Structure 1
Amino acid sequence: MSVVYDCSRSPDREDGLAAAASAVRAGRLVVIPTDTVYGIGADAFSASAVRSLLAAKNRGPDMPVGVLVGSWSTIDGLVLSVPRTARLLVEAFWPGDVSIVLPHAPSLAWDLGQSGGTVMLRMPLHPVAIELLREVGPMAVSSANVSGQPPAATAEEARTQLGDSVSIYLDGGPSGDPVPSTIVDLSGQEPIVLREGAVSLAAISEVIGEEVRTR
């Protein structure tokens, strides 16, 4: 049976973060607030946990799961290399609404779906999410909804859709505007914006110092 913790209250927040950390380490699923919508998350390095996440969403591996991190430096151990363009985007927009796609380190034992050897990384701008990520490390996170249904803007909306497939719900209040992150693919010869979301194409181009095209 799932448990909901009200993270607006200090004792519940501490208990909820401890329970969520324990659940993630045990390979179970948690729902967390982010700066966009609520996310359903699991240990990024547990293939079985990621499969459970996809099953809870009724989604296949053809749509790989992104990874949230709790600090800038975490990405150094997750990718093959961090190019200057990625550093510029991280410094300008993290924590925030830019997701970066890079070739992942070949030594990592993870299975995030059919990602073609890449990983999508983001550092969310939400204190509850960051605190949990800094406690447990990188998490595979997707929007907290059943595939085809609206993303959850509250913990209760997430629980209505996902029910007891999730062990712990961290309630951080209503999320911000349900605008997705902007996805910048840096895995090829030139940067490509796969999805223009909360951060504009013009803003990405300005930071990188060149005009960036969309797919």
Structure 2
Amino acid sequence: MTEADGPNTIRLSNTPRGLRAAVAMLREGQLVSFPTETVYGLGADATNDRAVAGIFAAKGRPRFNPLIVHVPDLAEVEAIASVPQVAADLAAAFWPGPLTMVLPLRADSGLADLVSAGLPTVAVRVPADPVAQALLRALGRPVAAPSANPSGKVSATTADHVMQGLSGRIAGVLDAGPTGVGLESTILAVEPEGAVTLLRPGGLPIEAVEAMIGPVPRDTTPHGPGDGVRAPGQLASHYAPDVALHLNAEVADAGALWLAFGPLKGRRGISLSETGDLVEAAANLFAALHDIDAVARDAGVRQVLVDPIPAHGLGIAINDRLSRAATPPA
């Protein structure tokens, strides 16, 4: 069932026994990383104040940055948030899946105050990953779960990534292999009267949402610490590798290191997708950022050049992550 990977952190196998162990840890107020279809989340019982505080401590996450609550279905969302009709329509179309909605928080939600960072709203998601679904249904409680990485660093798309960043800080990692989508969820704010705003592009292309409800205004301007942050992923500096990224590069010397989109064509580096496929590039993005750090360290390189990425579909979310990864911390 288990393999010891670091001090006090246990790797749990994707088996009924491993799932039971993960559920037991969460019920005891411990932190467990688990896979979703987007990235690995760092889970805690969202109704346990001490457990939720542990997320912020383990990640080094600022407490003004709210968390996403994961539940198995819309009925569980309605127990913690008010759901305007447009949100119910979006839920019917895109849940389970890589969509998070920021909704009015119910006064009787029972959630720990830290989950919403003192805001009158809560970010909620119904994940599609079968392991996440099994975990949530077995636990029977909402789970607060940001991405399972130190705050501001590259998100984890494998259990190994989780262990690299959080070993010794959390109780366990439920290992179900690499995630599929590879980018965090798209986040929409839905107001009580039904207005919808894009807060973070992600694994659900915004074009799919707009095809259903019409144009969606964007609030994707990078925010400073505490400056109007309404949902995860809005900080100007985020998802950062150790090496500096230079975006939309075109010309460089022969020794440059590249994060490419399309074929490398003799360049040194890693390609997000040799065929220029945005779905593949999204799935590979965070793993590639982890890997390019290692390559850069071995090569003694301090800067990585990044090919331009088309600004449509999942390319919007890829560019968002790369822009924040390239921004130095405040």
Q: If the length of structure 2 is used for normalisation, what is the TM-score?
A: 0.61
C-alpha separation between the residues in 2 aligned to 1:202 and 1:128?
A: 28
Structure 2 match to 1:114:
117
Say yes or no: does 1:184 pair with 2:188.
yes
Q: Which amino acid aligns with 2:84?
A: P
Shift of residue 188 of structure 1?
Answer: 5.2
Q: Which amino acid is the alignment partner of residue 54 of structure 1?
A: F
Structure possessing the higher relative contact order (Cα contacts under 8 Å, 6 or more residues apart) = 1
Stretch of structure 1 that moved more, 112-121 or 15-24 = 112-121
Q: Which residue of 2 aligns with 1:127?
A: 130
Q: Give, in whole Å, the separation in 1 of the partners of 2:118 and 2:189.
A: 12
Q: Using the alignment, how far apart are the partners of 1:201 and 1:158 within structure 2?
A: 28
Larger radius of gyration: 2
Superposed CA offset, 1:177-207 (max 9, x none): 4222111101354111111212222211222
In terms of mean alpha carbon deviation, does 30-39 or 163-172 score higher?
Answer: 163-172
Q: How many residues align?
A: 208
1:113-151 Cα deviation digits (max 9, x unpaired): 425111101111111111010111210001000012211
Q: Distance in 1 between matches of 2:207 and 2:182?
A: 21
Helix, strand or coil for the counterpart of 1:75? helix
Partner residue in 1 for 2:149: 145
- Separation in 2 of the partners of 1:176 and 1:47? 31
26-35 vs 167-176, greater mean Cα deviation: 167-176
How far off its partner does 1:157 sit? 1.3
In 2: Cα distance, 1:47 partner to 1:207 partner: 38
Give ranges in structure 1 of 5+ residues lacking alignment. 8-12
4+ residue segments displaced more than 6 Å? none
Q: CA deviation at 1:3?
A: 1.5
The question of 1:88 aligning with 2:89 is answered yes
How far apart are the structure 1 equivalents of 2:143 and 2:200? Answer: 21
Paired position in structure 2 for 1:97: 98
Partner of 1:200: 205
CA–CA separation in structure 2 for the residues paired with 1:183 and 1:36: 13
Are 2:177 and 1:173 equivalent residues in the alignment? yes
Structure 2: where are the runs of 5+ without partners?
Answer: 1-7, 220-330
SS in 2 for 1:20: helix
Partner of 2:48: 46
- Quick one: distance in 1 between partners of 2:103 and 2:84? 9
Question: Separation in 1 of the partners of 2:118 and 2:204?
Answer: 23
1:138 corresponds to which letter in structure 2? P
Aligned-pair distance for 1:38? 0.7
Assess if the C-alpha contact under 8 Å between 1:31 and 1:41 holds in 2. yes
Q: Confirm whether residue 3 of structure 1 aligns to residue 5 of structure 2.
A: no
Moved more, 56-65 or 159-168: 159-168
The match for 2:27 is 25
Q: Counterpart of 2:134 in structure 1: which amino acid?
A: E
C-alpha separation in 1, matches of 2:183 and 2:109? 31
For the residues of structure 2 that align with 1:131 and 1:193, how far apart are their CA atoms?
29
**Percentage of matched positions with identical amino acids:** 37
Describe the shift of the 1:67–1:54 C-alpha distance in structure 2 as closer, same or farther (beyond 3 A).
Answer: same
TM-score, normalised to structure 1's length?
A: 0.92
SS of residue paired to 1:148:
coil
Judge conservation of contact 1:88–1:207 (CA < 8 Å) in 2.
Answer: no
Q: CA deviation at 1:45?
A: 0.5
Kindly provide the amino acid, as one letter, of the partner of residue 55 in structure 2: L
